[in-house]
């Protein structure tokens, strides 16, 4: 499985600075899946194989929300989530290369783990009811917080100007 395909990349800042507000939805699951993979496979397969299994899980996890959209955005989200646990070189390897299996079951495990990620992704999508509504609510909340901060700053400035007249 190669996630990169022929996708062009949409960068926000540098490659390591890509951030998406919606990643917060996936963060607890990413942490738990990484810990589970480490616990279960650390002494049985190579780091490259574990990294690739993690990337497969992330692809499945994010597919319910992104598979129908722009492939480059989906890939960027996968990269951002994988890079939350792996350094840049291992992130790129996990996303672009399939390591030679050291155990016969590893190849089939990739598909199973990706499917499990998809099931969890569907569950997360159901919990947020409509992912687009979730993102809109997050954006509205951020805009409201920004507007509130500006209002507080303006009030503070007016108070200081009023106090300086005495």
pLDDT tens, residue by residue, 133-165: 555 554 555 444 555 555 555 565 566 666 555
pLDDT tens readout for residues 26-64: 999 999 999 999 999 999 999 999 999 999 999 999 999
Helix axes 71-83, 47-66, angle to 10 degrees: 140
Tracing tokens 């070189």 back to the chain, one arrives at 89
Give the Cα separation of 11 and 19 in Å (integer): 10
Q: In angstroms, rounded to a whole number, what is the distance separating the alpha carbons of residues 40 and 49?
A: 12
Whether 29 contacts 58, CB under 8 Å = no
pTM greater than the 0.75 cutoff: no
Query: What is the largest distance, in Å, between two alpha-carbon atoms of the chain?
Result: 82
Proportion of the chain above pLDDT 90, given as a percent: 53
CA distance 97 to 1: 8
Q: Cα 26 from chain centroid?
A: 6
Residues 6+ apart with CB under 8 A from 14: none
Higher pLDDT, 12 or 66: 66
């Amino acid at each position: 499985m190669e996630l990169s395909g022929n996708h062009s990349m949409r960068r926000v800042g540098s490659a390591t600075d890509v951030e998406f507000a919606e990643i917060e939805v996936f963060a607890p699951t990413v942490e738990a899946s990484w810990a589970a993979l480490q616990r279960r496979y650390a002494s049985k397969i190579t780091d490259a194989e574990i990294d690739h299994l993690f990337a497969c899980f992330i692809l499945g996890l994010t597919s319910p929300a992104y598979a129908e959209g722009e492939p480059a955005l989906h890939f960027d989200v996968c990269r951002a989530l994988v890079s939350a646990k792996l350094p840049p070189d291992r992130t790129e390897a996990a996303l672009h290369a399939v390591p030679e299996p050291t155990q016969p079951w590893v190849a089939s495990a990739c598909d199973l783990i990706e499917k499990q990620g998809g099931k969890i992704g569907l569950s997360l999508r159901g919990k947020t009811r409509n992912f687009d509504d979730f993102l809109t609510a997050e954006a509205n909340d951020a805009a409201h917080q920004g507007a509130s901060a500006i209002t507080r700053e303006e009030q503070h400035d007016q108070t200081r100007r009023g106090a300086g007249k005495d």
